[in-house]
Amino acid sequence: MTKSFYVTTPIFYVNDAPHIGHAYTEVAADVITRWHRQSGKDAFLLTGTDEHGEKVLRTALGNNTDPKQWTDRLVESAWLPLLETIDINNQDFIRTTESRHKVAVQKFLKQLHDDGFIYQGSFKGNYCVGCEEYKNDSDLVPGTGDFQGQQVCAIHSKPVEQLNETNYFFKLSDFQQKLLDHYEKNPTFVQPESARNEVISFVRSGLSDLSISRSKERFDWGIDIPWDNSHVTYVWFDALLNYITAIGFGEDDAKLNSLWPADVQVVGKDILRFHAVIWPAMLMAAGLQPPKQVFGHGWLLVGGEKMSKSKLTGIAPNEITDSFGSDAFRYYFMKAIGFGSDGSFSWEDLSARYQAELANGFGNLASRTLAMIHRYFNSAIPAPGTYEPADLAIQEVAKSAVSGADSAMQKVMIHEAIAKTWALVDELNNYITIQEPWALAKDEANRERLATVLYTAAEGLRVLTVLLAPIMPKATNKLFAALASSLGRLSDQKIQDSAVWGQLKPGEKVTELEALFPRLDENQ
Ligand code: MSP
C-alpha cells in the first residue's frame, strides 16, 4: 500500500471560540496538504479539539455547565463552523472525548507501563493552567497590574499555581540521547532552523521525567489511567496521542501504516517542545517512528504580544471573511507573514494587499484576459501563431514559477511559494500592458499576433489557477471552470505538469467570469 501524505494541526482547546491565530495554523496545514494533493498524491489532513484538562474544566464550571456539554456546544457552534469559514478540506476531525481516542490512549499507556516506561513518583512545581504545563523558574517573568510583585507565566501573564502531587511519570529522561541522535540524523525533523536550534539546546540542557497523570482528588475531567482509576491522564499526554488514535492506533494497523509517520506536523512555536521533544520520545517508547517533520510557526501579534482571547486581543476569523472572503483570508496570512516568523495583523495591510495584489493583480488579469477572448474571439480560445521572444519569456517565467514554488513548498516555505507564483502574475500583467492586445485588435492584419498574445495570457492564467488552487480554492475553481473546463477538473491538474505549454485547446469556449475579488467599495 502506498503511504498517504499526512499533515496534522494541533488540536485546539475548547475553552473558547477560535480567533485568527488558530485559523492561521489551520490554513497553513490545509495549504500544505492541498499542495501535495494537487501534486497527485493522496493527502490526509487531520485536525480536531483538545477537550480534557483543568483549563477546559474550569471554563465550563465558570459558565455553570458541565465540561461535556460545554465542549459539545463549542465544537458544534464554533470549531466545526471555523472549518467552513476558512475553507479547510480536512479528512478527519478528532475530539479527545470520543471513545475511539480514549480506548487507544489507554492501550498506549498500558503498553508503556507494561514495558517499564512509566513509574509512580511525586513532584512539586509551578503549574500554569493556561499552558497546562509545569514551569521552570526561567519560564516566569515579573507580573504587572493586578499581579505586580508576583512571578507570572511569560505566555499568559498570569500567576502559576504551586502543585505537590504523587502521580505517574514517563521516563522522558531516558530519551535524551536518542532524541539528540534523531535530530542529528534528521536535520529537517524540526523546522525552521531557529526552532531546531532551540529544541536541541533545550534537550542538551537535560530532560526530567514527565508527570503524566493527575489525582482525581484534584479533578477528574480526563481519561482514566488504565491500571489506577484514581488518576486521570495528563492532558498533554492524552492530546498528543490524537495524531495516531485518529488513524487507527491499537485498532487498525493497515490504516495506521498507510498514514504514519506524519509528513508534516504544523504547530505554533509555543507548543514546539511538546511536539519535538515529548511526542517523539513517547513514540520511541512505543516502538513507533517519530513524525518526519514538526514545523513550528510564529505568532500573530497584537501590540507585540501573542494574540489571545484571554488577553481580549483575539479577532474572530469571520470578522475578516465576511468582508474579504475566505480566499483573501488564506492568501493574506500565508503571503504577508513569513511562515516560521511572527507577524502583526493590520486591517490597513489586509485592505491594501487585497486591492493591489488580489483585485488589481490576479483578479484583473483573469477578468481582462477572459473579457478580450470573449470580445475578440467570440469566446473561443484562439490558436497561437509563431511565438515571439516576449511570449517565450512568459513560458520561461511560468516554468520557474512552478519549479520555484514547488521547491519552496517542499521546505514548507509557504510565503516563498506564493512569492514565486506572484512573479508570473506580475509578468503576465506587464506582458499584456506591453503587448496592448486592444491596440492589436484594431487592425485585422494583426489577427494572428492578437491570437498568440491572448493564448499566451490564457495559458499563463491556467498555470496560475493550478499553482494557486491550494491557497485560494474558491477563486481558482471559478476561474478554471470559466477558462479550462475542457481539461476536466482543476483537482486533476498536477502542479508539476502545469507549466507544459499548450494545454488549452484552441476553439474551446470560455465562459463568463464574475469578479474574483470584488472591489472593496462594491463589497461593503
Ligand atoms: N491544545 C493545545 C495543543 C495540543 S496538540 C496535541 C493547544 N491549543 S491552543 O488552542 O491553545 O492552540 C492551538 C494552536 O493555535 C497552537 O498551534 C497555537 O500556537 C496556535 N495559536 C494560538 N494563538 C496564536 C496566535 N496568536 N498566533 C498564531 N498561532 C496561535 O495549544
**CB 122 within 8 Å of CB 156:** no
**CB 374 within 8 Å of CB 510:** yes
pLDDT of residue 304: 80
Q: How far apart are CA 290 and CA 243, in angstroms?
A: 11
pLDDT of residue 311: 65
Catalytic-residue membership of 101? no
Best mutation site among 11, 20, 25, 212 for ligand 1 pocket (most ligand atoms within 8 Å of CB): 25
Start-to-end CA distance of the chain, whole Å, equals: 51
Question: Which fold, 347-523?
Answer: Isoleucyl-tRNA Synthetase; Domain 1 (1.10.730)
pLDDT of residue 523: 46
Report CA(485)–ligand 1 centroid distance (Å).
Answer: 40
Total residue length of the chain = 524
Q: Is the CB of 10 under 6 A from ligand 1?
A: yes
pLDDT of residue 521: 67
Which residue from 480, 477, 261, 450 is spatially nearest to 373, judged by alpha carbons? 450
Q: How far apart are CA 216 and CA 231, in angstroms?
A: 5
pLDDT tens sequence for the chain (524 residues): 789 999 999 999 998 899 999 999 999 999 999 999 999 999 999 999 999 999 999 999 999 999 999 999 999 999 999 999 999 999 999 999 999 999 999 999 999 999 999 999 988 888 898 888 888 888 889 998 889 988 899 888 888 888 887 899 999 999 999 999 999 999 999 999 999 999 999 999 999 999 999 999 888 999 999 999 999 999 999 999 999 999 999 999 999 999 999 999 999 999 999 999 999 999 999 999 999 999 999 999 987 888 877 666 789 999 999 999 999 999 999 999 999 999 999 999 999 999 999 999 999 999 999 999 999 999 999 999 999 999 999 999 999 999 999 999 999 999 999 999 999 999 999 999 999 999 999 999 999 999 999 999 999 999 999 999 999 999 999 999 999 999 999 999 999 999 999 999 999 999 999 999 998 864 44
Q: How far apart are CA 407 and CA 405, in angstroms?
A: 6
Which residue's C-alpha cell is 475578516?
A: 320
- 19, 36, 102, 231: the catalytic one is 19
Q: Which residues of 255-294 are buried (b: 16+ CB within 10 A; e: fewer)?
A: ebebbbbbbbbbbbbbbbbbbbbbbbbbbbbbebebbbbb
The H or E element spanning position 389 is helix 389-410
Longest dimension (CA), the chain: 89
Best mutation site among 7, 9, 12, 301 for ligand 1 pocket (most ligand atoms within 8 Å of CB): 12
Strand, coil or helix: 276: helix
Which residue from 336, 339, 332, 329 is spatially nearest to 298, judged by alpha carbons? 339
| Cα–Cα distance list, 283 to 112, 172, 277, 411 (Å) | 10, 11, 10, 24
Which residue from 168, 252, 179, 249 is spatially nearest to 210, judged by alpha carbons? 168
Which residue from 407, 426, 428, 425 is spatially nearest to 416, judged by alpha carbons? 407
Which residue's C-alpha cell is 495554523?
A: 25
Q: How far apart are CA 132 and CA 94, in angstroms?
A: 20
Q: Is the peptide bond before 384 cis (omega within 30 degrees of 0)?
A: no
Which residue from 350, 403, 327, 395 is spatially nearest to 85, judged by alpha carbons? 327
Which residue from 175, 177, 142 is spatially nearest to 157, judged by alpha carbons? 142
The DSSP secondary structure of 416-466, one letter per residue, reads HHHHHHHHHHHHHHHHHHHH-HHHHTT-GGGHHHHHHHHHHHHHHHHHHHH
The 3-state secondary structure of 203-260 reads HHCCCCCEECEEECCCCCCCCEECCEEEEEECHHHHHHCHHHHCCCCCCCHHHHHHHC
Structure pTM?
A: 0.95
Which residue from 108, 43, 335 is spatially nearest to 242, judged by alpha carbons? 108
Report CA(493)–ligand 1 centroid distance (Å).
Answer: 33
| Cα–Cα distance list, 190 to 257, 262, 278, 410 (Å) | 22, 13, 13, 14
- Indicate the burial class of 326 (C-beta count within 10 angstroms; 0-12, 13-18, 19 or more): buried
Which residue from 128, 152, 138 is spatially nearest to 55, judged by alpha carbons? 128
**CB 123 within 8 Å of CB 99:** no
The DSSP code for 345 is: -
- Output the nine-digit C-alpha cell for 398: 511560468
For helices 389-410 and 414-435, the axis angle rounded to 10 degrees is 170
- Output the nine-digit C-alpha cell for 342: 511572527
**CB 508 within 8 Å of CB 349:** no
Q: How far apart are CA 467 and CA 495, in angstroms?
A: 6
Q: Is the CB of 339 under 6 A from ligand 1?
A: no
pLDDT of residue 69: 96
Backbone angles phi, psi at 423, to 5 degrees: -60, -35
Percent helix, strand, coil in the chain, to 5, is: 55, 15, 30
**CB 300 within 8 Å of CB 307:** yes
- Output the nine-digit C-alpha cell for 326: 475566505
Which residue from 246, 210, 249, 216 is spatially nearest to 107, judged by alpha carbons? 249
Name the closest-CA residue to atom 13, ligand 1.
12
Q: How far apart are CA 150 and CA 302, in angstroms?
A: 24
Q: Is the CB of 299 under 6 A from ligand 1?
A: yes
Report CA(22)–ligand 1 centroid distance (Å).
Answer: 6
Best mutation site among 27, 157, 270 for ligand 1 pocket (most ligand atoms within 8 Å of CB): 270
The DSSP secondary structure of 36-62, one letter per residue, reads HHHTTS-EEEEEEEE--SHHHHHHHHH
**CB 230 within 8 Å of CB 215:** yes
Calculate the CA 103 to chain-centre distance: 28
Catalytic-residue membership of 415? no
- 131, 182, 275, 297: the catalytic one is 131
